[in-house]
Structures are given as C-alpha cells and as structure tokens.
Amino acid sequence: MNVKAMLADFLTFVTPKSMHKARFSVLLDAVTALAKDACCTVTAIGRAMPGSSDKVSIKRADRLLNNPNLQRELPLIYAALTASIVGHKTKPMILVDWSNADTAKRHFILRASIAADGRALTLLQKIAAAEDYTCPHLHGAFLKQLKAMLPKDCKPVIVTDAGFKVPWLKQVRKLGWHYVARVRGNVKLKLAEQDKFISVNQLYRQAKKDPKSVGKIMLAQTQHYETQAVLVGKGYKLLKRDKNKTYKEPWLLVSSLADCHGYADKIAKCYSSRMQIEESFRDQKSHRYGLGSDLHGTKKKSRLEILLLLAALVNWFHYLLGSAAEGTVANSRW
C-alpha cells in the first residue's frame, strides 16, 4: 500500500489550490512521517521525514511550523475538511470541548468535531492561552468561524459537557442552532411546579435507571434561563463512600430541541456520543496509544496550531483508510 500516494491525493483535496508546491511537498512529508509511526513533536516528525540527515530533516519540519503562509491557510484547510463531511446535512451533531494542549497547561485546545462511526473527526480547533480558557469572547469568535464554514441552511446540534455554562447556550441559540449540554456542580435550578431554586445534587435523588424528562426548568439563579431538561440515572444508588467518584453521578442534560415522543432517550443518546471527542483527544495526546502530542515542548501558539493541524490530518486519514479497508473486507465476504 503506497501511503504517501494516498496521502497526496487526500491533501490535494483539502488544501487550497494556491498552496505553493514546495510548501505542499514539506506538508506531505510531515503528515506521511506522522502517519507512519512518528510522535507529534517537531523532532520526531523531522527524523521520520526523508532527507540527507536528521539535522536537515528536523530543520525542514521546524520551518514548516514557522511558515506564516501555512498559518494563514489553516482556516481554508479546516473549511475544506468540514465541507467534505458535512456536505448537505442540515442537522449534523457537532461535539465541542476543551482540553489542555500540553502537560504544563500553558495552552488549551477548543475543538469542534463531528460525530462519526467510532471516532469524532475534527472540523475546527483553536489554541488559547491559559488565561483565555472558557472565555465567552473566544467562544463567540469560535462559533462565528464555525458558522462561516457550514452551509447556510445547516442548523447543527451542539453537544457539550458541564464546562459550558448558560452564556454559551445563549450564544448557540443566537445563531439559530440547538444544543445538548450537561449541568452539574453548584448550579441552581427551578422546576416548573416549584417556587424555590434547588441544587443539581438535590435533583439527582429523583434519578432512575431509564432517562426521564423533567420538563422545562429555570437554569441558574442569576441567569433565569429556561430550557428543557432530562435526568439520566446510572442504575444504582450512590453510597457515601462514592461521593468523590464524579463518573458515577447521574446526568442532568439540558436541550433546546423541541419535546417529542421518546424525547428523554433521544437526548441521552445524543449526549452519550460526546465520548467520541474525548477519545479523539486521547488519540492525539497519548504517547502510548496515539500520536503523542503531549510530548511536544512548543511554547508558541502559532507553531502549536500547525502541529495540531498535522495531527488532525493524520487522524482524518487513518479514519478514511480504516473505512476503506472495512468496506473491502465486508465486500470480500459476499
């Protein structure tokens, strides 16, 4: 199997036609090196690239990360990736999450991925400094760029975890999109039949094994944001010794989607797909099971954005390669 030839076809499809041939050649070598077995660090990629010596190849990889033209072309590449998978879908499910970009937590990644079979595929990602983590202004700019990449009639369902608060939900609705999100922690809410606000933990006591529609609730004592809610239990009662095990907590999910038959089950299924973006972060960061981007020592934001682009392109290519192989195996059985 000629991996480099297949990668060349893939990169030709997602990179702008105006990209210089020399820049395309280095990008192809870097992605090929990472796809074969390199870690997502400039040194490892350089050593796996073709060249007269490791020193020369590492310098090629280093210059690629500093290339201002490639940095300007990043939005065009992400837009091409998005267009290739979203196509004419009018209501795709898009997963959005934050994750640290390095073990020192100097930078964080804000990523939007589309739920696919088995793994989430990156549509857009931004690097933010630690002080901008969960910044509402950054959220707004991110959503605005994501909207520009999607077809005009596309109204996605944005799925997020509990780290995204009421201001985020309002920003999503302002675009005419829908959301499915989780609420937990010290957030207060008010049920339709009650006059007083209660904590999320108090509502957890009503959780059953099967998803249950709570109806409309008033979310956050300061925001008074009205939304639909669903309570999903885990099938067993929390004991006192389990109080620190957050993974055993029930899910309190909120959504702007209209109520319908089987609403609670559909919202729970929607949210459960969010695990795909967690797995895609692991695929990128784990040096044991993935591309090992956690090992990078990059401190410059612009260099890190290109490094993560390489990782995203490789994950896309691996997914497409696996899908093609799966189809070939399935066809050979008949």
7: in domain: yes
Q: Which residues of 38-53 are buried (b: 16+ CB within 10 A; e: fewer)?
A: bbbbbbbbbbbbebee
DSSP helix/strand/coil, 4: helix
Tell me if 253 sits within 8 A of 182, measured CB to CB.
yes
pTM above threshold 0.75: yes
Helices (H), the chain: 3-14, 21-36, 42-48, 54-66, 68-86, 136-149, 166-174, 200-204, 263-272, 275-285, 301-332
Tell me if 71 sits within 8 A of 51, measured CB to CB.
no
pLDDT exceeding 90 applies to what percent of the chain? 67
154: in domain: no
Q: Which domain holds residue 7?
A: 3-73+297-332
The pLDDT value given to residue 334: 43
Q: Is the pLDDT of residue 260 over 70?
A: yes
Counted domains in the chain: 2
Whether 319 and 266 map to the same domain: the answer is: no
Residue 9 C-beta-side C-alpha neighbours within 13 Å: 7
Whether 257 and 184 map to the same domain: the answer is: yes
The pLDDT value given to residue 330: 47
The pLDDT value given to residue 246: 56
The DSSP code for 156 is: P
68: in domain: yes
Rounded Cα–Cα distance for residues 102 and 113 (Å): 20
Of the three residues 234, 258, 273, the one that is the final residue of a domain is 273
Whether 222 and 320 map to the same domain: the answer is: no
117: in domain: no
102: in domain: no
Average pLDDT over residues 148-170: 96
DSSP helix/strand/coil, 204: helix
Q: How confident is the model at residue 328 (pLDDT cuts 50, 70, 90)?
A: low
Q: Is 334 exposed, middle or buried (0-12, 13-18, 19+ CB in 10 A)?
A: exposed
Q: In this predicted model, what pLDDT tens digit does every residue of 84-141 receive, in sequence order?
A: 999 888 999 999 999 999 888 899 999 999 988 778 999 999 999 999 999 999 999 9
Q: Which of 207, 213, 198, 199 is nearest to 250 (CA)?
A: 207
Q: How confident is the model at residue 156 (pLDDT cuts 50, 70, 90)?
A: very high
Cβ atoms < 10 Å from Cβ of 272: 13
Q: How confident is the model at residue 247 (pLDDT cuts 50, 70, 90)?
A: low
Q: In this predicted model, what pLDDT tens digit does every residue of 6-59 receive, in sequence order?
A: 899 999 999 999 999 999 999 999 999 998 877 899 999 999 998 878 899 999
